[in-house]
Amino acid sequence: MTDKRRLGVLISGRGSNLQAIIDAVAAGRLRATIAVVIANKAEAGGLECARRAGIETVVLEHTAYPSREAYDAALVAELRLRDVQLACLAGFMRLLSAAFVEAFPNRILNIHPSLLPAFPGLHGQDQAWRHGVKITGATVHIVTPELDAGPIVLQASVAVDDADTAETLAARILVEEHRIYPLAIGIMLDGGWRIEGRRFIRS
Ligand code: GRF
């Protein structure tokens, strides 16, 4: 029987969300296989998390490719080679081409540190803190070609305290990221959901 629960995790940095996924799999809270971790930077700290867990790693430096399309084609090839069903962006700091998104329709997830559609783009926690919102949070969404705009799978809210700095707020949001990302991955893999318009609906 082919394993229909194979993940590819794409990272650029420290990899704490990757670690949360690894931990959820190890603890039996998420039934999945992390088939490969791909980083666009050789110095991404998350590569060490993957190696420690015995997960195959691939470094694909985007600077080595002539165009976004060429780079994304290489990413797609690596994921397909390992029969990945769901690609999980975990702090992967690259815009994806339409070709990448079309290669994995409704099969790419991203975690974002705000309650989308508020504060898309870089530093969502900092944007929310500066704006002075009283509630922010984390969002797991399906990736579409438009940045941070795809159907929302799960969200968690975080209250902002007057005493918060951008850093203390980001730390509490991160706790929620680590909680909801493995949950959202499980929901996607389990199936029994559909998308109506922009709405992700579990049936
Ligand atoms: C997280 O805040 C995530 O929401 C954002 O990038 C950060 C990645 O952190 N997309 P880490 O590498 O998972 O620790």
For each of the chain's 203 residues, which pLDDT tens digit applies? 467 899 999 999 999 999 999 999 999 999 999 999 999 999 999 999 999 999 999 999 999 999 999 999 999 999 999 999 999 999 999 999 999 999 999 999 999 999 999 999 999 999 999 999 999 999 999 999 999 999 999 999 999 999 999 999 999 999 999 999 999 999 999 999 999 999 999 98
- In this structure, which residue's CA is closest to atom 1 in ligand 1? 91
Q: Are residues 127 and 84 in the same domain?
A: no
The CA-CA-CA angle for residues 158, 119, 11, to 5°, reads 85
Query: Which CATH number does the domain housing residue 45 bear?
Result: 3.40.50.170
113 Cβ below 6 A of ligand 1: yes
- Rounded-to-integer distance, Cα 10 and Cα 12, Å: 7
Residue 76 structural domain: 1-105
| Alpha carbon of 2 to ligand 1 centroid (Å) | 31
Ligand 1: nearest atom to the Cα of 46? 12
Same domain? 99 vs 134: no
Q: Which amino acid is at 35?
A: A
3/82 Cα distance (integer angstroms): 11
